[in-house]
Amino acid sequence: MRASWQERFAEASDVLKSSQRQQTVVRVLDLEIGGSDFITMAGPCSVETEQQILSIAAHVRKQGARVLRGGAFKPRSSPYAFQGLGLAGLKLLAKARSETGLAIVTEVMSEDDVPLVAEYADILQIGSRSMENYTLIEAAARSGKPILLKRGMMATVEDLMRSAQLAIGAGNPNVILCERGIRTFDNALRNTYDPAAIALLKQISHLPVIADPSHACGHRELVPALARIGVAAGADGMIVEVHPQPEKAWSDGEQSLSFDEFDGMMAMLEPYIALRGAANRTLVGRVG
């Protein structure tokens, strides 16, 4: 790695590749995130009902997803919107895991909830709105569970790296970085997707990097294209919203893929995922 990256990101030095550490592989159940497989995390924005989460889990697993996503504690921009099922949602996620073997990723919004969420989840999601909640990040890191750290919507790549540095400093090296779109002057879409952040992070950081094409654009018809871009940028995986009846979803229905759309996307991505292995090998061997 060029010395200038070390200087540029000196406050996140443990996030950068070094001669000792080229790639972190986060192990979750039988999964390796940051290894050679592209890992798909899929599921609804929010856990709604038992039937909803179990049917989604079974479906996405059949299509190759390895991790089930679903919010039980929801950070909603509107105080009047559905806030999540809380503990009941966590229990439904655990049931889906025991029925399908999928690992569970779900958001934790408050430091007080870390022990409870860590009891049920395999990966703790720190949402965009919490990327600067440093006490939450430290508490989540201290739980020992892997952390999925989403880029804040107003955060630079360096801000994201500094939050990851905090988690590593709290003793938890199992941090997965997630590009989910940022706010810019352009308002055509929900957010502005930044695949250059994925390419940069893959180049300079040893942490696994995933794409969230759903929140990045906010429109289901664009999700497959953004997922493909994430694969091409070198992402280690993606997290994507899926719902059996997107128009009836309790949150983020506009960006949720139907089952058929998810199946179509997974089939479309296959050759790109196959190519990704060869492209990423060009990154191997760069030392700090």
Q: Which is nearer to Mn ion, 15 or 242 (CB)?
A: 242
Task: Give the C-alpha separation, 117 to 167, whole Å.
Answer: 17
Task: Give the C-alpha separation, 24 to 202, whole Å.
Answer: 11
Q: How far is the CB of 71 from ligand PEP (least distance, A)?
A: 5
> Residues of 147-181 as b/e, b for ≥16 C-beta within 10 angstroms?
bbbbbbbebebeebbbbbbbbbebebbbbbbbbbb
Q: Which is nearer to Mn ion, 143 or 191 (CB)?
A: 191
Which of these ranges, 5-13, 88-96, 218-226, 247-255, lies near Mn ion under the rule CB under 5 A? 247-255
Task: Give the C-alpha separation, 74 to 88, whole Å.
Answer: 13
Q: What is the contact mask toward ligand PEP in residues 157 to 196, using x (rule: CB under 6 A)?
A: -----------------------x----------------
Q: Which is nearer to Mn ion, 236 or 252 (CB)?
A: 252
Q: How far is the CB of 127 from ligand PEP (least distance, A)?
A: 3
Report if residue 252 touches Mn ion, rule: CB under 5 A. yes
Task: Give the C-alpha separation, 285 to 111, whole Å.
Answer: 39
Q: Which is nearer to ligand PEP, 16 or 233 (CB)?
A: 233
Q: Which is nearer to ligand PEP, 16 or 153 (CB)?
A: 153
62, 75 Cβ separation under 8 angstroms? no
Report if residue 154 touches ligand PEP, rule: CB under 6 A. no
Task: Give the C-alpha separation, 60 to 260, whole Å.
Answer: 11
Question: Which of 279, 288, 231 is CA-nearest to residue 8?
Answer: 288
Q: How far is the CB of 3 from ligand PEP (least distance, A)?
A: 33
Contacting Mn ion (CB under 5 A), which of 28, 45, 56, 200?
Answer: 45
Site for ligand PEP in 104-143 (CB under 6 A): 127-129
Report if residue 243 touches ligand PEP, rule: CB under 6 A. no
DSSP secondary-structure letter at 255? G
Task: Give the C-alpha separation, 152 to 82, whole Å.
Answer: 21
208, 176 Cβ separation under 8 angstroms? yes
Report if residue 45 touches ligand PEP, rule: CB under 6 A. yes
Contact set with Mn ion (CB under 5 A): 45, 252
Contact set with ligand PEP (CB under 6 A): 45, 71, 75, 127-129, 150, 180, 212, 215
